[in-house]
Amino acid sequence: MTTASTLKTWYGIHKWTSLVCTLFLLVICLTGLPLIFHHEIDRWLDDGRPYAVVPADTAPANLDPIVEKARALYPKEVINYVFMDDEEPRVLVGMAPSYESAPGLSHAVKFDAHTGELLKDGPLASQEQLTFMGIMLALHVDWFTGLPGELFLGLMGLLFVVAIVSGVVLYGPFMKKLPFGAVRAARSRRLKWLDLHNLLGIVTLTWGGIVGVTGVINELATPLFSLWQATEVAGLLTAYKDETPPRILTSVQAARDTASRALPGHSVISLQFPGNKFSTPHHYMVWLKGATPVTSHLFTPVLIDAGSGRITAIAHPPWYLTALELSRPLHFGDYGGMPLKILWALLDLMTIVVLVSGLYLWVARRKTTNARIAALMRQSALPAMRRETS
């Protein structure tokens, strides 16, 4: 295959992968902007009671009274999880009519992590999804369609990665006669936008590759977690296959303390209740994270027998869940504070310009091609018209 034909093939790959995913990538980039700052926006929009002002070394409240308060509020509902936020002093108790209920019927009750006082009774998940941040998240993750939407957007992310790779292959041959960063502003509008498209594409190359790959991994979260449950977690439950799930559950606070002792240097981030689809019928699944900059993004589940309170297993996640956990903060720039978030937002805006300019170049090229064809047709028709009039 000649160099010209190779470049033509790469150009075709770049053009069609870009065209297919551009509309969806535009929506993902636009919705990604507020999601980069979701913690700050959530605090700004929060209409719950303020947190209590306490000394910095104040111990967290006992979880058992918090859980009982949530049960008293909704005695006919089940508790799905208890989430302990590590960025602000809150505890969320997730509840639903039953463990088999539709996800939209779940809701979370917010408590102060230091005093155990009720701060806010949250809306149903279906109502929460209609808030500004809920709409942004749904459009970014699954387009309100659940797993099918996640897999489809994962495919669009994969096409985006292919478009980046093919763009890199084309950049050298097409720009070798120009100095790096040159934008021919004095030439035609199309050439100016072509140079700007190429320049911003190279500037955002590394960021786009990171966000694209991590985005694809994130969209696979549901099937990857289900695979882990069906294989490794299922293997840990062979001793329980003939047992009925416990009717009376052991202390939630005791389960938290037991898990903390099992993994010194880790902090408990959430506790999934027995029967919840993210746990097992027999266990509290307690998730802990490390304290270092790297391990703070890695989570380890401890299975606590909900009847006896004893540890069944420390289920160290497989490599693919570790990759998933590491991809999340990389995707949103959520590990380096506000300076990194601002950088992520600027790169996101540049990528939006790359996508829009790519669409413009395709439309402009089609118009130029159509005009050239029309001119050739007029020229070829002139001799025939002359013969007819002679």
Instruction: Give residue-wise pLDDT tens across range 219-229.
Output: 999 999 999 98
Q: Write out the two tokens for 271.
A: 């506790």
Q: Is residue 240 a part of any domain in this protein? A: no
Question: What are the angstrom distances between the C-alpha of 208 and each of 191, 212, 246, 339?
Answer: 23, 6, 49, 18
In a domain, 206, yes or no: yes
CA distance linking residue 154 with residue 327, whole number of Å: 14
Q: What is the pLDDT of residue 330?
A: 84
The range of the structural domain enclosing residue 13 comes to 3-37+137-218+337-389
d(CA 68, CA 63) in angstroms, rounded, equals: 9
Q: Are 301 and 315 in contact (CB under 8 A)?
A: yes
Is residue 76 situated within a structural domain?
no
Return the pLDDT at 186.
67
Give, as one character, the DSSP assignment of residue 104: G
HEC profile of 9-77: HHHHHHHHHHHHHHHHHHHHHHHHHHHHCHHHHHHHHCCCCCCCCCCCCCCCCCHHHHHHHHHHHCCCC
- Give dist(CA 210, CA 381) in Å, integer: 53
- Please check whether residue 231 lies inside any domain of the structure: no
**Is residue 225 domain-resident?**
no
Is 181 in a helix, a strand, or coil? coil
Determine, yes or no, domain membership for 79: no
Domain count within the chain = 1
**Given this model, what pLDDT does residue 48 score?**
80
CA distance 355 to 290: 38
Q: How far apart are CA 161 and CA 201, in angstroms?
A: 12
Spans of the chain, pLDDT less than 70: 1-2, 175, 178-183, 185-186, 367-390
Q: Which two tokens stand for residue 46?
A: 């929060």
**Terminus-to-terminus CA distance in the chain, angstroms?**
50
Is 180 among the domain residues?
Answer: yes
Looking at the domain assignment, is residue 244 inside a domain? no
Q: Looking at residue 1, what is its pLDDT?
A: 46
